[in-house]
Amino acid sequence: MGPGTRILVSGASSGLGSTTALLAKHLGATVVVTSRDEGKRARLRELGLDHVLDPQSSAYAEEVLAAFDGAQAEVIVDNLGVDNQWSTNLELLGPGGAVVSSGSLQGESVPVDLRQLYLKSQRIIGVRSGNLAALDRVWSEVRKGFRVAPDRLFALENIADAHAHIESEKNAGRVVVAIS
């Protein structure tokens, strides 16, 4: 990720999704983010993300291309694994592009057109966890001013409320439990 890189983050209201999107923006990328929930899209806008889209909109593909000035995405970060959104996103991936699958929260199997991957030299990369080198790079960006904004902060005494908030799927970003 760097200046001018075109990145699409699906499921950007999750803790990982919002952090990825904000880091990409911090590094100068053009970032498009998605959420199916209007309240979460509003929160993503509050965080300073410029291109916040509803992936269920009939104009979704056109809106993504418009955000990228007519070009296709270079990187797609998919945190969901939702069949119909996956297929549309693959169509929006440009030649030489990569899909990073960092979650399958919906637990679906998704179709992959191997001919498209081959002809366009595209990649699908599965990522389950980070590593020390990546962590060092993130801390380097923190020293340069990168920050994330947690969704909510709960005191340890209210841990049950924190769990209930997450289970309600109303959070947009990380939920933090503070130990005082």
Same domain, 140 and 88: yes
**What is the tens place of the pLDDT at every residue in 157-172?**
999 999 998 888 878 8
Q: Which domain holds residue 80?
A: 6-148
Is residue 15 within 8 A of residue 174, CB to CB? The reply is yes
Does 1 fall in a domain? no
When mean pLDDT is compared across 37-41, 100-104, 106-110, the lowest value belongs to: 106-110
Same domain, 63 and 142: yes
- Band (106; pLDDT cuts 50, 70, 90): low
Same domain, 10 and 55: yes
> What is the model's pLDDT at position 174?
83
Same domain, 86 and 123: yes
> What is the model's pLDDT at position 103?
72
Whole-number mean pLDDT of the chain? Answer: 89
Same domain, 36 and 118: yes
More confident residue, 108 or 144: 144
Does 114 fall in a domain? yes
Query: How many domains does the structure of the chain reveal?
Result: 2
Same domain, 13 and 26: yes
Is residue 172 within 8 A of residue 39, CB to CB? The reply is yes
Spatial separation of the C-alpha atoms in residues 120 and 88, rounded to whole Å: 16
* Residue 47, both tokens: 């965080």
Is residue 82 within 8 A of residue 13, CB to CB? The reply is no
**What is the tens place of the pLDDT at every residue in 48-73?**
999 999 999 999 999 999 999 999 99
Does 119 fall in a domain? yes
Does 33 fall in a domain? yes
For residues 69-96, give the mean pLDDT.
91
**pLDDT score of 145 more than 90:** no
More confident residue, 173 or 69: 69
Same domain, 118 and 56: yes
CA dihedral 129, 76, 6, 133 (to 10 degrees): 10
Same domain, 111 and 173: no
- Band (105; pLDDT cuts 50, 70, 90): low
Same domain, 164 and 175: yes
> What is the model's pLDDT at position 15?
83
